Chain A
Amino acid sequence: LETFSLLAGGFAGALSPQNLLFALVGSVLGTLVGVLPGIGPTSGIAILLPLTAFLPPTPAIIMLAAIYYGAMYGGSTTAILVNIPGEVASVVTTLDGYQMARQGRAGQALAIAAISSFVAGTVSLVGLTFFAPPLADVALAIGPPEYTGLVILALAVVVSLCGRSLRKGLASALLGALIAMVGLDPQSGRRRFTFGVPQLIGGVDFISVIIGLYAIAEVMTNVHTAVTKVSAVPLGRLFPTLRDLGACVGTMVRCTLVGFGLGLLPGCTPGAISFLSYDIERRVSRAGSKFGTGAIQGVAGPEGANNAATSGGFVPLLALGIPSTPALAVLLSGLMIYGLQPGPLLMEQQPAFVWAVIASMYVGNVMLLILNLPLVGLWARLVMVPYPVLGPLILVFSVLGAFSVRNSTFDVWVALAFGLLGYVMRVLDFSATPLVLTLILTPILENSLRQSLSMSAGDVRIFLERPVALGLASLGVVLTAVSLYARRRPGAGATGAPRQEGS
């Protein structure tokens, strides 16, 4: 009950005209940052950080937080409309979202993304509101062996994402793992696969890879096939039917649980979580067999999950002072500039501030829903824009985005190189999704596996002694086996694919 009065106090703070204004500004900026490929919440928050010198702490942090969760709303927009994820966490949304757009259902896809984001984001906030400190202790109990198990579980998704040919999909996944290895060995600090190029010491930037594989390769493919518009069919109804919404209820419940639960863990990024949610839906939901061909659950799941994950990420941030993503690390430095010492005492010592920020997140999510639904009609028309106009614009934003991540021209070249690679992969029918997944997961796996073995002085029995780790890893192995079996079953010809994938 004490929580209710604290939250009420928080709303009183969050609903003051000034704080409302900054929540709105943050939501709009966040949506924008999410829509633009490359410019992510990390750069968005960092660019606005100097403003903190002129603002009191509460409105400033309310705004920066709104940029963070607002970006998750915006990230799906270009993923659905033009097959270009605006955020890492929206990569998997392209699989079904873009197919929906090509079938004239762009509006429905955008709407369900916004609705699912709102539901999952808001329900997760309730978890943050009432259970943050105990949940933070749960997050602490998850150590390197458990993360190792979790990644093995997540790797089971690779088989599902392989597209028509298992071998081609696995090749793509291996390439992703290899690219993730470039740079400094995280354990020894030694350089590897840098070939004497100083810029490669920093590794291959993730965003550049995505911009290349998706945005640039997409434009090249569309030029190649002389596409005049994204959607060949006229735009259909803008909003999902009640039946569609009903079909997504189970999806929203599951993605909220998965997104919030994993979002609590500082080692799990929303990017990895959205992939997991997609795979769960593919296996569990009734429309599972239609995944990859424009299933509405394939959009609702990952988009809800990444929003639930952002709410979950505020648990370790507010209850422990531990940032789970680079964007939250910047937010944390914003707190420090104000002398609001992040840590377990923050909620105790600064209740007015903490609760105003939490309350503002409820408000911000409502704003984002109200903001995004009317925009659906406008955005959806983007698919009717002649491609000779749209394509060059996409290229401009791609180059800008690649540069902006690290202020580096080298990254622009990397994006162009991956554009070429992505184009070749499309021509040869290799799916890029497994590559992105292993690119996300490999660093987590490598670090947690080697950390676990360091903890036990090289004894692999550490994985047997930790039941959670063992359980997760075993589940991963079982699911991989199930997926492999399922691929073999339909038709005796082993190369026949159970499902199609967005080109």
Chain B
Amino acid sequence: MGTLRKRGRVWLAVSGAVGLALVLFAGPGAAPAAAPTYPARPVDMVVAFAPGGGADVTARLVATYLSKKWGQPINVVNRPGGGGILGTHEVLAARPDGYTLMMDNHAVNAMLAASQTDLPFKWDERTPIARVTFDPVFYCVKFDAPWQSLKEVVAHIKANPKTLRWGTAHAGGISTFAITQFFAAAGVDLAQTNRVIFPGGAPTLTALAGGHVDFAGQQWSEVRGLVAGKKIRALAVVLPQRVKEFPDVPTAREAGFPELDVVGWQGVTGPPGLPAEVVERWDEAIRGAAADPAFLEQAAKIGKVIAYLGPQDFRKFMFAEYDKYLPLAIKMGLRK
């Protein structure tokens, strides 16, 4: 990884002339000319979260698929910490040779940039390659809760201020954005609800299923087991169309809230100034995967909707995301 290599260099330089010579040799040697033979050696795909999360699962899906196709290992490297800031920082500081990329996602991309002004990196300098998947938000209640629709939840809050407890994963997580947007659309004052923050999607949904909170908005990959097992009930999904797995769950538009559009996504990005050849090679491979039935089937198994976008559209999407989340972050008092 980039910082490692750099730190290694510092050490060598300190150890004297021999070390310096080594670095000079290692420099050009470690970065082979990319174009036709890329990837000529294993590629690190960094995930800024611990194994098992949404970005991690998509990363492993893509890595397995492309390792087979290219005959070069794509290694998923987990660099968790600081809500994804550490791993992202590392990738954006890495050598732009195409051998350190990341499985980016909504959380460490525009959402982070909208809520934190003092990030150790410039978020918009990353090189977008291709958006791969969506992991849509489902608004959920406990299975035996009295509310049958989003409208009924809103009516309940308005009639009983300061009683509805909603659970969310992380202060600045996607569920916080999704619920803040929903409340804004419904004309509910955030101060009239009780926000309970959990350290992840699983504990949030555990609390919902146990009745310790009343309402949550988590992603498909997180809620599907408990929804199917009738521990929690989904009231709406934020996606243009219904999800095949849950044909009875209406879209947000059908539920009367067409303005809701907070979406979880995963996509491949890299350090600033990535060579065009690398971007093209990856984009082409992901576009191919997105049309491959075997890949689609695997993606559906892990609770993801294929949402391929090429480099140009992906960049536009990133900035549109930022514009969408900035006012929400300010509304939540999150931005600093």
Residues of A within 8 A of B (CB): 42, 45-46, 49-50, 53, 140-144, 183-190, 198-199, 201-203, 266-267, 316, 320-323, 326, 329-333, 336-339, 341-346, 406-409, 443, 447, 450-451, 454-457
Contacts and interface: CB of A to CB of B under 8 A. Distances in A.
B162 A457 contact: yes
B128 to A, nearest CB: 23
Best-surrounded residue of A186, A407, A447 (most CB of chain B within 10 A): A407
A316 B60 CA distance: 25
21 contacts: A46-B78, A49-B51, A140-B210, A140-B211, A140-B231, A141-B210, A183-B81, A198-B86, A202-B86, A320-B231, A322-B202, A322-B206, A329-B51, A331-B52, A336-B57, A336-B301, A339-B301, A343-B224, A447-B198, A451-B198, A454-B196
Nearest to B81: A202
A333 B60 contact: yes
A343 B220 CA distance: 13
Interface stretch (B164-172, B236-244, B253-261): B164-172
A406 B81 contact: yes
A323 B222 CA distance: 11
Interface of B: 1, 3-4, 7, 50-53, 56-57, 60-61, 63-64, 76-83, 85-86, 89, 115, 120, 162, 165, 170-172, 194-199, 202-203, 205-207, 209-213, 221, 224-231, 298, 301-303, 334, 336
B199 A447 contact: yes
A333 B206 contact: no
Contacts of A341: 224-225, 228, 301
B302 A144 contact: no
B172 to A, nearest CB: 5
A186 B225 contact: no
B52, B85, B207, most chain A CB atoms within 10 A: B52
A45 B197 CA distance: 29
A340 to B, nearest CB: 9
Nearest to B304: A336
Contacts of B211: 140-141, 143
Contacts of B221: 336
Contacts of B165: 454-455
Name the prevailing secondary structure of the A interface residues: helix
Given A140-B210, A183-B82, A189-B115, A336 B228 contact: no
A457 B171 CA distance: 17
A188 B86 contact: no
Given A186-B199, A407-B78, A53 B225 contact: no
A458 B231 CA distance: 28
A345 B228 contact: yes
A332 B202 CA distance: 11
A323 B199 CA distance: 13
Contacts of A332: 52
A337 B211 CA distance: 30
A20 B227 CA distance: 34
A456 to B, nearest CB: 8
Contact of A189 (B77, B198, B334): B334
A454 B51 contact: no
A345 B202 contact: no
A190 B83 CA distance: 11
A144 B213 CA distance: 10
A344 B51 contact: no
B51 A201 contact: no
A42 B195 contact: no
A190 B336 contact: yes
Contacts of A454: 165, 194-197
A470 B195 CA distance: 23
A140 B82 contact: no
Nearest to B176: A189
Contacts of B213: 455
Nearest to A53: B64
B198 A344 contact: no
Contacts of A456: 194
B313 to A, nearest CB: 28
B229 to A, nearest CB: 3
A203 B199 CA distance: 14
Contact of B230 (A144, A184, A344): A344
Contacts of A331: 52
A493 B44 CA distance: 61
B263 to A, nearest CB: 20
B80 to A, nearest CB: 6
A46 B52 CA distance: 9
Contacts of A45: 51
A198 B206 contact: no
Contacts of B212: 143-144, 455
